[in-house]
Amino acid sequence: MARKHSKHDPYGDLDREDEVPATAVTCWLCGRPTGKTIVWHHPVPKSRGGRDVVPMHPICQQTLIANFTNSELQRHGMDVEGLLAHPNVRKFVDWVANKAPDFTATTAKKQR
Ligand SMILES: [Zn+2]
């Protein structure tokens, strides 16, 4: 079931530019590579004295914000496993696993 881009460009190897940075940035929450937009998320909210930041997808950050209060985020801190233990977050990560890195959805939007 692997989908491959079929290459029909005979000069593809000559002037191919690597768009992927040498150091791939992976999302703190879901572990997928980040897309064009990287959100630098404070695992401990800035307002609670958090200084460390981690790279995340915008949609992953939205999920955290939607499911945790600042106090809860502060309590979990850098413990992403604790966040993943939340059923809603677990469900989201499993769901988003097959989406493109740049996939964004307005999670707040009502689904019909
Ligand atoms: Zn993510």
pLDDT at 6 over 60: no
Domain-located, residue 108: no
- Our CA dihedral for 41, 44, 46, 47, rounded to 10 degrees, sits at 140
pTM of the complete model: 0.72
The Cα 98–Cα 15 span in angstroms is 30
Mean pLDDT value across the chain: 84
Residue-range definition of the domain harbouring residue 90: 39-96
Domain-located, residue 71: yes
Say what the pLDDT of residue 69 is: 95
Total residue count of the chain as it appears in this document: 112
Domain-located, residue 55: yes
Domain-located, residue 5: no
Domain-located, residue 56: yes
How many angstroms does the Cα of residue 11 sit away from the middle of ligand 1?
34
Domain-located, residue 79: yes
How many angstroms does the Cα of residue 80 sit away from the middle of ligand 1?
12
How many angstroms does the Cα of residue 17 sit away from the middle of ligand 1?
25
How many angstroms does the Cα of residue 36 sit away from the middle of ligand 1?
12
Query: Each residue of 12-48: pLDDT tens digit?
Result: 555 555 555 557 899 999 999 999 999 999 999 999 9
End-to-end Cα spacing for the chain: 30
How many angstroms does the Cα of residue 72 sit away from the middle of ligand 1?
19
Domain-located, residue 74: yes
Sequence-distant (6+) residues with CB within 8 A of 33 are 20, 24, 25, 26, 27, 101
Count of structural domains, the chain = 1
Domain-located, residue 62: yes
Query: Each residue of 58-83: pLDDT tens digit?
Result: 999 999 999 999 999 999 999 999 99
How many angstroms does the Cα of residue 33 sit away from the middle of ligand 1?
8
